[in-house]
Amino acid sequence: MKPLVLKGRRVVKGVSHGEALVTSQRISFFGGIDPVTGIVVEKGHELEGKNVKGKVLVFPGGKGSSEGALKLYDMSLRGTAPAAIINVRTEPVIAVGAILGNIPTVDSLKKDPVKIIKNGDFLKVNADRGMVEINRK
């Protein structure tokens, strides 16, 4: 099957790949994800109990405190951060954390990534070009 390619906007440069982890809910990196393990700990969150480490994390955008940027950076130092981030719209907190952590990030894709991308899809993210290649599982 031919991969689907979506074009968007580069937020943080870089190229990465990995398995998609998708949620329709916003994510807080301050209190919502354990930076030591990468596991989503927010009670009632769609991804509660899932690990973001090494995944391409697809979500609408961030929420919560500006401390989230430092937590995302902390995760990158610990090796528990996502391999890449795809947002519908990236807020400054997520952008700053991704910049500090050197995590390729794209947003503003031509189609809503939360609706198009499925958990387990293999994604190639070329943030330099604002491109996301979706290979169905």
Query: Within a 10 A sphere around the Cβ of 26, how many other Cβ atoms?
Result: 17
Catalytic residue among 65, 66, 76, 108: 65
Nearest to 105 by CA among 51, 29, 2, 50: 29
Distances (CA, A) of 117 to 44, 98, 104, 128, 137: 22, 21, 17, 20, 11
Q: How far apart are CA 84 and CA 49, in angstroms?
A: 19
Question: Known catalytic residue: 24?
Answer: no
Q: Kindly provide the residue ranges of all beta strands, DSSP E only, lying in 1-137, ordered along the sequence.
A: 4-7, 9-12, 15-22, 56-59, 84-87, 105-107, 122-126, 131-135
Which residues are marked as active site? Answer: 65
